[in-house]
Amino acid sequence: MKKIIKLTAALAMALALVFAFTACGGSDEEKEAAAVKTVTEGELHMATNAAFPPYEMTSDDGGFEGIDVEIAEAIAKKLDLKLVVDDMDFTSVITSVQSGKEDIAMAGLTVNEERKKNVDFTETYAKGVQSIIVTEDSDIKKPADLKGKKIGCQDGTTGYIYCSEDFGDKNVTSYNNGATAVQALIGGKVDAVVIDNNPAKEFVKSNKGLKLLDTAYAEEDYAIGINKDSKDLYEAVNGALKELKEDGTVDKIVDKYIKAE
């Protein structure tokens, strides 16, 4: 008899719980996951250019890895979505989100006024520093020395924009990605490459005869770009990113890829 009473009590409690749950429509997190609309149901499509280590690059098994990829994976998980990485030219990253083909633009993407007209940016999650790579024997010692020199940049990047403004269009050659710009420097076609500092460090590490100048050229913030009409998705992604920053996940991911010197 005692057993039966215990059982009914447990049942009643369980029922009460179910009621309370349905009455308030589930937890906030669940509501978020159920409501958020993406380009393909159940998936979060990330537009990127995966030649930008340590933020995004191809992995040995043919997939993608890097800081942005792992942060996006953690965001997708929170929203109960499957992350799909779509690799493309850097110049298509923002336009593909703007035209509604992709959900998020995440590519070590610098926030600037021009881009803010085309997409909404989340909170920032990392800092970027435009840096200068030269050959070891170069006479270029500081940003001002770039005057009159041939500069290589990745097409459509802030590095390209600053250099063409500061040193003139005709002195800047744009390349499809950072690695090809670096090959041009090694081949003597340009005198310097201007690119974000962490990719720059990776390129210097993996190629002989190059060095990074100590003086930074410009400092900037990285954030995720989202279609201006996707307000729900914006709230969901920004909210998830905020949580991942607060609970230390973002720091942990950054530390995994960028070892302190």
107 touches ligand ARG (CB under 6 A) = yes
Evaluate the CA torsion angle 213, 107, 185, 166 in order and state its sign. negative
Rounded least distance, CB 206 to ligand ARG, Å? 16
Residue whose structure tokens are 């609970």: 247
- Note whether 125 binds ligand ARG by CB under 6 A: no
- Is residue 102 at the binding interface for ligand ARG, with CB under 6 A as the rule? no
Strands 218-226 and 120-135, how do they pair? antiparallel
Residue 54 found at the interface with ligand ARG (CB under 6 A)? no
In the chain the beta strands, taken as DSSP E runs, fall at 43-48, 51-52, 56-58, 64-65, 82-87, 104-105, 120-135, 151-154, 172-175, 192-196, 210-212, 218-226
**Minimum CB separation from ligand ARG for residue 258, in Å?**
15
- C-alpha to C-alpha distance for 179 and 45, rounded to whole angstroms: 25
Query: What is d(CA 204, CA 165) in angstroms, rounded to the nearest whole number?
Result: 26
Of 51-59, 96-104, 135-143, 208-216, which segment contacts ligand ARG by CB under 6 A? 51-59
Burial class of residue 16, CB neighbours in 10 A (0-12, 13-18, 19+): exposed
Interface with ligand ARG, residue 109, by CB under 6 A: yes
Nearer to ligand ARG, 85 or 109 (CB): 109
| Residue 159 Cβ vs ligand ARG, minimum distance, rounded to whole Å | 6
8 A C-beta contact, residue 52 and residue 46 = no
Contacts with ligand ARG, 216-235, as mask; x by CB under 6 A: --------------------
The residues in 56-85 that bind ligand ARG, with binding defined as CB under 6 A, are 56
Residue 108 binds ligand ARG (CB under 6 A): yes
Binding to ligand ARG in span 168-207, by CB under 6 A: 196
Q: Decide: is 143 part of the binding site for ligand ARG (CB under 6 A).
A: no
